[in-house]
Structure 1
Amino acid sequence: MVVVSVGKGMETKDIIGGALVVSGGVLALHGFLNALSNHINLGVAGMFLGAVILTFKPSSYVKRDALRYVTGSYERFFESFVRNLHLEGNAVYIPPFENLPEGGIFVPLHERFELDLARLDTETVFLTDVPNDRAMGLFLGPIGLDLLKRYEEHLEYPLRGSGPGTVESAAGAVLKALGLASRVYIEGLENGFRVVIQPDVECSPEICEKIACPVCSSILLALARATGEVLYTRRVEEKDYGIEIEVERLGGVEEWM
């Protein structure tokens, strides 16, 4: 009897692949010694199949590679976009209201900015028709909306008015199930929130301050929706424990109409 000790790091594919290689080798050797061509062919086929299985990447790696290829292009495009438009302000996350039924993201032209939410709607891209250039900026749709909807499907009720704890729970469960993040943590601050995300995909904090990736923006849009408040991105930093985002609460939509 052969006893095989399987370590924690050994995956099912390694066990199956290794077993096929070993059994195929034994069968091929038996066929060679006994001049049994069918055993030799079966043994070689088993060894080949085992080698193929051993070279397979786990599906989680395949998903991460695919997502990295997509988000890499996304990040390069928006980095160039932000740089060429000279957008100084960081992202502002807007909860749903009459003009924007799904909410959205506004990137101010200036670091010191003013909000004029009454002039924003789903058809707006560049907000320039304002009396004060400090209210100018780029309006983006709700990036990460499909993920946000998955959070609500997981909860089986809307996020509106549910609070930050609900966002932490729903986003954490959904993103972990999708292999996008292993943990989401939301901490209340005196005038805002501290959000920590442990992504299972690459994330660029410099870009996320202006135009966040779908994972980060879905959480921040969900937080704006759950609290009913406009949130301003103070900082996004990469730490040993994940991506840390600090947002400031700017009050409800009615204060900026």
Structure 2
Amino acid sequence: MIDNNNNSNNNSNNSDDDDVELIKHKKLRTKFLLNISNFKKFTAIIVIAAGFGFLGYGYLNSIIHFINLGIGLLLIGWVLLSFSYEKYLRYNIGSSVFNDYMDLVGKLIKSLDIKNSGIIIPPRENLKNGAIFLPLNENFKINFGLIDDSVLFVNSDNKKEMGIVFTPLGKSLINILKKYDDLDELTLDEYDDKSSMIINIENYLDYSLNLFQLGSNVNVNFNDNKTITVSYKINDNSVCKKLQKDGLCKKCPCPVCGFIVLSIAKSLNRMLKIEEIIEDNRNIIIKLNVLDNNI
């Protein structure tokens, strides 16, 4: 006689093992891509050094061919080096645009005198990418009939339902992973025990942050299914300092923290309240409350 429960458990364990192996493979691929980037820089430096060598030798010995070769190698080396650091130019432009956006958001929040933390809403029918809801009142109520992707101000006769809605800044990273990566999205129903779910969420987040070169060392802790603590190491904390100074972290988090909290909300299919986001020497701690409402 065949034991269906045993077969089901075996299939579940095999599925978990496959997920872990897939993530390990992707981490190795990410490390390989990072090594290629470093190899470009190393190659560029060698080419430039060789260019100076040929140029100096040709000049001292009056060998025109060596002089021309040296000049050519210098040009090639500088081009390679420029392409290696192209991402930093893109980052500076993106960072400036982001700062302008956050200045606008900060003024809006201050003008409405919003004191409450952000509520992370996972994607649903009328919110394709999910949302961050900032309620005007401490005793709030979310009316999904008043919220969709086109709404910024939530107006209602019931003051408890009023607030503002933002698209989570981390949604672009999720969309990139969904479009170009074959890593499956994680949902609570796929795992029979909480420890397997936590490990897979940790691996997913750690892999993603390493892939985008945004951070590493992700750790996720669930406490009594009501509170979640996430810690990780961020590579660049310049945005964190600005948001911490303006008191915006737990109201409208940066793209990195936004990606993390939105990913967890999607995995659990639950709304999350941001209780606290702390940054200390590039170490980030995010504290979340799982709300009772099911989506």
TM-score, normalised to structure 2, is 0.69
| Distance (whole Å) between structure 2 residues aligned to residue 182 and residue 37 of structure 1 | 51
1:179 counterpart residue number: 213
| CA apart distance, 1:105 | 1.4
2:201 matches 1:167: yes
1:154–1:91 distance in 2 versus 1, CA, 3 Å: farther
Provide the aligned length of Structure 1 versus Structure 2. Answer: 242
Structure 1, unmatched stretches of 5+, are 1-10
1:31 counterpart residue number: 58
Conservation of the 8 A alpha-carbon contact between 1:176 and 1:183: no
1:39–1:14 distance in 2 versus 1, CA, 3 Å: same
Out of 127, 138, 141, the residue aligned to residue 167 of structure 2 is 141
| CA apart distance, 1:151 | 5.1
SS in 2 for 1:38: helix
The amino acid that maps onto 1:107 is L
The amino acid that maps onto 1:228 is N
1:252–1:45 distance in 2 versus 1, CA, 3 Å: same
2:164 matches 1:130: no
- In terms of fraction of residues, the more helix-rich structure is 2
Of stretches 51-60 and 174-183 in structure 1, the one that deviates more from structure 2 is 51-60
1:156–1:150 distance in 2 versus 1, CA, 3 Å: farther
1:197–1:117 distance in 2 versus 1, CA, 3 Å: farther
> 5 Å matches for 1:1-257?
12=39, 15-47=42-74, 49-50=76-77, 58-59=85-86, 61-100=88-127, 102-110=129-137, 112-122=138-148, 123-131=150-158, 133-150=159-176, 153-157=181-185, 159=187, 161=189, 163-190=197-224, 191-201=226-236, 202-203=239-240, 204-205=243-244, 206-240=247-281, 242-253=283-294
| Distance (whole Å) between structure 2 residues aligned to residue 98 and residue 35 of structure 1 | 75
Q: CA RMSD in A?
A: 3.0
TM-score, normalised to structure 1, is 0.77
1:4 counterpart residue number: none
The amino acid that maps onto 2:146 is L
Sequence identity of aligned pairs in percent? 24
